[in-house]
Amino acid sequence: MDEQQLLDQLPGGLAFLTSATRFHRTNDALCRMVGYTPQEMASLRLPDIVHPDDRNDTMAALRQLASGQIDQYDSDLRVISKHGDVGWVHALVRSEEVSVGESPLLVAAIHDITRRKLEEIEFVHIKEECERTFDAVPDFIAVLDTEHRIVRVNKAMAATLGCTPQQIVGLPCHDVVHGLDQPFPSCPHTCLLADGCEHRTEVHEERLGGDFLVSVTPRHDAEGNVIGSIHVARDITDRKRAEEELRVAYDTLEKRVQQRTVELANVNHALRAEITEREKLEREVLQVATREQRRMGEELHDELGQELTGLGYLASSLDGRLRKQSHPEAATSAELVAGIGQALRRTRAIVRGLLPVEIDAANLEPALEALTVEIQERFDISCRLESRGHLGVQDDHSAIQLYRIAQGAVNNAIKHSQAAKVDIGIETRGRQTILRIRDDGIGIPRDAEKGSGSGLRIMRYRARAIGGKFVVQRGDDGGTVVTCILQEDRDGHHE
């Protein structure tokens, strides 16, 4: 195997250069590296394949080498291939005793480092981007070691402290940031060094001008040991101020609500007391009215009734005598007897209205039945009672008022609606007792359904006194419908 074959088996590029830097001999590895054939390489000088930006420095170093000023040239440089591609090589050039003619040869070992160089360049770009990002973050960032010393800070933190990043590096964080001789007890970096975990806390620091949310994340070496932390502080002063304003506003509102609640409770208490007093007064008024009706009925029965009865006996006696005597005034005396009898019947009817059968919760239905009988006899109209099942009226007062509402509605129908038929209905559904009086008269005028006539006003008054709902309206088929709905609460009392 000759010498050239041995050179061609080398993995790296190898070249022999004349003192004029012309390629005297090259191996296959170098030819492949730059894309030239050995014959083409023999016609080239080294500067022909060196990148223009590296050419001057390379040629200056080779001249020093040729003159003996330096022993070797060892450098990374860029080369340009035959096709114009730029690559990186590591060149080690030394002067050898071998010569061509009068000129000694230079031996150059050239290795392709393009991939490594591109990775280095990419790494530098990434590092520079990280540097720019690190300094662009508005949060305060510091890298601390295990002794609380600052390894690195971003521009935002340094500017707030009034220093350059270089002036802070190596100083204790508790001194630079907090003005303390040692870390404060709740220092998150101290906690991280103790347990190796992330920590987060809120810190108020006057030297930094506000409140900060501080988080620390552990840094590890290749073996996984904690070698410090990345310390990030976010300014939350505005948020804390807003939270405090919100808290103050909430407390103020809460106090106003409490104050207003007390005021409303007092007003409600006074209103309830007033309502209770009014209901009590209404009951007393109704009781007084009932007693007065009873008193008037008794007086009519005991005084006027007895007097009319006595006058009736006298008139009958007089009429008998005149008839025996065939007296011309016998016809007049007969009319007198009839008139006194009619007056007595009307008086008794009035007395029955003022003094109905004894009414209580137990006999409301019989009392209403008696009312229908009286109405039919007295006014010669159809009046009937329809009752369904057991009535849920629990107290005598409510029973009396329901009876009086029915009595008033029937009387109104007879007096004002020209009714020929009146139906009284009463039933209990669940906790509701419903009293309904329906007639076939001309019907109440539309504008009178909420009128203030004495009859309607008294019926509404009675319904309200027992907590009932009172409604008067025109019937679907004509006539008037009067309804009173009595609601029973869970304790069995009427609301």
pTM above 0.85, yes or no: no
pLDDT of residue 68: 85
> Are 109 and 224 members of one domain?
no
- 346 is a domain residue: no
- 345 is a domain residue: no
- 121 is a domain residue: no
Domain boundary among 56, 82, 114: 114
C-alpha–C-alpha distance, residues 66 and 95, integer Å: 7
> Are 230 and 261 members of one domain?
no
- CATH number of the domain that residue 372 is part of: 3.30.565.10
Residues 218/192, Cβ–Cβ less than 8 Å: yes
pLDDT of residue 195: 94
Residue 280 structure tokens: 């009590």
> Are 162 and 50 members of one domain?
no
Amino acid at 79: V
- 285 is a domain residue: yes
What residue numbers bound the domain in which 177 lies? 137-235
- 221 is a domain residue: yes
- 81 is a domain residue: yes
- CATH number of the domain that residue 173 is part of: 3.30.450.20
Element (H, E) at 305: helix 305-324
Residues 131/155, Cβ–Cβ less than 8 Å: no
Mind listing the pLDDT tens digit of every residue in the chain (495 residues)?
Answer: 678 888 889 899 999 988 788 999 999 999 999 999 999 999 999 999 999 999 999 999 988 988 889 989 999 999 999 999 999 999 999 987 555 455 578 899 999 999 999 999 899 999 889 888 888 888 999 999 999 999 999 998 888 888 898 999 999 999 988 889 999 888 999 999 999 999 999 988 887 788 999 999 999 999 999 999 999 999 898 898 898 899 999 999 999 999 999 989 999 888 888 877 776 776 666 666 666 666 676 666 566 666 777 777 677 777 778 788 877 877 787 777 788 877 777 776 666 666 555 678 888 888 889 889 888 888 889 999 998 877 878 888 888 889 999 988 998 888 888 888 999 999 988 888 999 999 998 888 766 655 556 788 888 988 988 888 999 998 888 889 999 999 876 555 555
- 341 is a domain residue: no
> Are 373 and 275 members of one domain?
no
**Number of residues assigned to the chain:** 495
Residue 261 structure tokens: 């609640």
Handedness of CA 190, 196, 201, 203 (dihedral sign): positive
Residue 266 structure tokens: 């007092």
> Are 464 and 366 members of one domain?
yes
> Are 448 and 385 members of one domain?
yes
> Are 412 and 453 members of one domain?
yes
Provide the 3-class DSSP secondary structure of residue 177. coil
Q: Classify residue 194 as exposed, middle or buried by CB count within 10 Å of its CB (0-12, 13-18, 19+).
A: exposed
Lookup result for tokens 């590895």? 29
Q: Regarding beta strands 210-220 and 468-474, do their DSSP bridges make them parallel or antiparallel, or are they unpaired?
A: unpaired
C-alpha–C-alpha distance, residues 412 and 456, integer Å: 9
Residue 256 structure tokens: 């106003």
Number of structural domains (the chain) is: 4
Question: Could you write out the three-class secondary structure of 70-83?
Answer: CCEEEEEEEEECCC
> Are 159 and 94 members of one domain?
no
Those residues whose C-beta lies under 8 Å from the C-beta of residue 57, and which sit 6 or more positions away, are 75, 77
Give the single-character DSSP code of 206.
G
Q: Which of 348, 453, 359, 361 is nearest to 411 (CA)?
A: 453
> Are 156 and 92 members of one domain?
no
> Are 210 and 291 members of one domain?
no
At 350, give phi and psi (nearest 5°).
-65, -40
> Are 173 and 227 members of one domain?
yes
- 464 is a domain residue: yes
Residue 325 structure tokens: 């005597």
> Are 457 and 388 members of one domain?
yes
